[in-house]
Structure 1
Amino acid sequence: MQALKHFRIDFVITAAVLVVAFLYDSWAGVGLTAILIVVEIVFSFDNAAVNAKYLDRLNHFWQTMFLTVGVIVAVFGMRLVFPFVIVCLSGSISPWSALNLALEKGDPHTPGTYGYILTEAHPAIAAFGGMFLLLLFLDFMFDEDREISWLTWIEKPLKKLGKLDVLSVIIAGIFLLVASETLVHETHVHTAVQMRSIVLFSGLLGIILYLAVSGLSTMMEEREAAKDHEFEEADAHSSTGQKVLLAGKAAFSMFIFLEVLDATFSFDGVIGAFAITPDPIIIMLGLGVGAMYVRSMTIFLVRNGTLAEYRFLENGAHWAIGALAVMLVISIRYDLGEFVIGGVGIAFILAAWASSILANKRDAVAEGATDSTEQGANV
């Protein structure tokens, strides 16, 4: 019941969007929009789990900003404007021509159509998003301060490797070089050499953006922590161990990081949606509402302490990110399909969730046995 109340606004907006889809394209529009909503929600749960980790460090105001302003950016920015810009740049056409192509709803397999041009840009988008997500995954695995390990046989050795500060960048760079040499092939528009340059440039741009946004966020967070240090010592709550939430510039930089992270997650979904329908309006409606649910899910995970309750969920989400990063890069040459990419992420999340439940049960049994032993000793 509490979950239903949390998503009540999402339900209202969903109903309104389905009405708009009906007015736009009758029942066919309603069906396609509903399918896209479900696909976006199911395949983006790992996004919600990872976002919750960072959103948990922001105060209530910035959490609300993530759910309001952030949704506007996600819906109109990534689901409508971003594909439009990509088509303009990749097709070397004017915005007016791109708009006409979008309204024509051409078959994405037909050269010259909106969906076709966007699909042709997939290698560059995959390289950019793959490198950004790969660095996020590697930095998590190499974090020496991380207390919880899920797949201990591999996570603990990776933590030890974290003593090398630039190891994640080195690995990402090597992976990008190997991918550009082995996965890139010529297209109808570009030669193999041109595509290799495009993939290298896009991947390098993803690495630079991650380092810039992540570094800015870390710097602002450290500065905020330094300013609040004396206050925490004097604060009566500090003795209780209450968590200090980010605000001001530190919170803003974290908010920007979350927006970039969310955008990176949405790359494959936006392009994959053209396999369902070539209509960019229906795509925006369906993926936009799905993105709204994912953000509400993120808030729900934070305010209900789900990550703390299910201890391995964060680890599973990052493994899902690592898998997504690798599959994005592989998709430069091979079509893996939305269900494979989304299914692998869901499998990691469900496995981590099940492992957390088992661990909680073991802890409960051990605690019960300890209590029984203490009671027996007292008697």
Structure 2
Amino acid sequence: MSTLKHFRVDFVVAAVVLVIAFFYDGVDAVSLTAILIVLEIVFSFDNAAVNAKYLEKMNDFWQKMFLTVGVLVAVFGMRLIFPFVIVCLSGQISPVQAVHLALERGNHNTPGTYGYILDQAHPAIAAFGGMFLLLLFLDFMFDGDKEVHWLGPIERALQRIGALDMLGVIVAGIGLLVAAEFLTTGGEKATVLFSGVLGIVLYLAVNGLSSVMEDQEAAKDEQLEQQTNARGTILLAGKAALSLFFFLEVLDATFSFDGVIGAFAITPDPIIIAMGLGVGALAVRSLTVYLVRNGTLAEYRYLENGAHWAIGALAVMLILTIKFHLGEVVIGGTGIAFILAAWLTSVRENKKRDDHDQHRTESIDQTPASAVNGASKQ
């Protein structure tokens, strides 16, 4: 009950947003928004874990700042503005025109409408987003330091072949060439190739930025004046905390690319994307603080693996939509299915461990005192 109380604001906001989605475009908008909320939360689970690692160094004031001011930046910056930026760039329209056309919507077969512009720009968006998400999936699966394997034989095999340096980029590049050759018609090939390469470059830049920033922040820890609590945990305040606050905002933005780009595989409507990802971002912030205050980062051990399999599936399906029409229910449902399966497997694994620990404790308790004394004498 205390856990639900911690997320009560998120539940209220989610309910309000789902009501707004219903009035915006009926039941379909509600279902798409709900799918995006779930996907954003699970895709950002690793984000919450990394954020928690740094947030636990701040005092209570800066933790509250991160949860309030920080969430405004996250929701209105990456989740609201960035999707419109993608639409504007791919559709070559102004931000004001994009908002106006998005609210009007209109028939996608009618030239000049928002739906028509997005249909024309879809190959570019699909190639760009597909390559970005595919690299995210491959880097996770090829990671030689990964210790937890959900789909054991497959993930261990991928980890072994991932010893080849830059294999993820090679595989993504081959996938892009195949997609451009077999999924495009006419002048789409050049657009798909350019957009796909741009997605690969952006991923490498974002991933590199995150790594550099984490390394720099870790190095700064040794130089900062630190105040420690009874547990020895570093609590930063003032300029040190402000610096870390800005660091977390930039780090959160880099982590958000996969959720924003993956959302375009579910729906092209930036209004629905903003509502779904916005609520998800709010929940992730609450989850970050919850993880800090409860001192646990990984209760469900396979959830991160399941999330990356969902990302991989979204990447493949997003690329396939260059030529084939895949319904939002199929795309969103596939991602949710991977995540749900990973969660259920984690719950079952936790139960097995609890039963094993309980059985072991009972066996020790039932051991006769004479046997224990005899063993100690030997």
How many Å separate the matches in 1 of 2:47 and 2:72?
17
- For residues 17-58 of structure 1, the C-alpha deviation after alignment (integer angstroms, 9 at most, x for no partner) is 957x8xxxxxxx716166424312224523321212123222
Cross-structure match for 2:50: 57
How many Å separate the matches in 1 of 2:229 and 2:10?
37
Q: Which moved more, 1:313-322 or 1:136-145?
A: 136-145
Cross-structure match for 1:121: 121
Match of 1:347 among 330, 337, 342: 337
* 1:204 matched to 2:205: no
Compared CA separation, residues 367 and 66, structure 1 to 2 (3 A): same
Identify unmatched segments of 5+ residues in structure 1: 22-28, 186-191, 274-282
Contact 1:18 1:34 in 2 (8 A): no
How many Å separate the matches in 2 of 1:124 and 1:30?
31
Match of 2:256 among 253, 259, 264: 259
How many Å separate the matches in 1 of 2:161 and 2:48?
27
Compared CA separation, residues 300 and 369, structure 1 to 2 (3 A): same
Cross-structure match for 1:299: 285
Shift of 1:258: 2.0
Cross-structure match for 1:163: 163
How many Å separate the matches in 1 of 2:232 and 2:5?
36
Match of 1:288 among 235, 249, 274: 274
Q: TM-score, normalised by structure 1?
A: 0.79
* Cα-Cα RMSD: 3.4
Cross-structure match for 2:354: 364
Q: Which moved more, 1:208-217 or 1:143-152?
A: 143-152
- For residues 67-87 of structure 1, the C-alpha deviation after alignment (integer angstroms, 9 at most, x for no partner) is 221101245314545434433
Q: Which moved more, 1:137-146 or 1:59-68?
A: 59-68
How many Å separate the matches in 1 of 2:152 and 2:41?
24
Cross-structure match for 2:145: 145
How many Å separate the matches in 2 of 1:35 and 1:299?
27
How many Å separate the matches in 2 of 1:138 and 1:184?
24
Compared CA separation, residues 78 and 234, structure 1 to 2 (3 A): closer
Cross-structure match for 2:314: 324
- The amino acid of 2:279's aligned partner reads Y
SS of the equivalent of 1:310 reads: coil
Compared CA separation, residues 30 and 173, structure 1 to 2 (3 A): same
Contact 1:126 1:329 in 2 (8 A): yes
SS of the equivalent of 1:106 reads: coil
Compared CA separation, residues 147 and 162, structure 1 to 2 (3 A): same
Shift of 1:117: 1.4
Cross-structure match for 1:375: 365
Compared CA separation, residues 134 and 209, structure 1 to 2 (3 A): same
Contact 1:213 1:256 in 2 (8 A): no
SS of the equivalent of 2:50 reads: coil
Q: Which moved more, 1:35-44 or 1:230-239?
A: 230-239
- The amino acid of 1:157's aligned partner reads A
How many Å separate the matches in 2 of 1:239 and 1:75?
36
Shift of 1:255: 2.1
Compared CA separation, residues 378 and 303, structure 1 to 2 (3 A): farther
SS of the equivalent of 2:367 reads: helix
Match of 1:42 among 35, 48, 70: 35
Cross-structure match for 1:67: 71
Contact 1:18 1:33 in 2 (8 A): no
- For residues 215-234 of structure 1, the C-alpha deviation after alignment (integer angstroms, 9 at most, x for no partner) is 01101111222332577999
* 1:83 matched to 2:73: no
Q: Which moved more, 1:161-170 or 1:2-11?
A: 2-11
How many Å separate the matches in 2 of 1:16 and 1:312?
30
Shift of 1:259: 3.2
Compared CA separation, residues 111 and 346, structure 1 to 2 (3 A): same
Identify unmatched segments of 5+ residues in structure 2: 56-62, 236-240, 370-378
After TM superposition, the structure 1 = structure 2 runs for residues 25-40 of structure 1, keeping only pairs within 5 Å, are 30=23, 32=25, 35-40=28-33
Cross-structure match for 2:217: 224
SS of the equivalent of 1:57 reads: helix
Shift of 1:137: 0.7
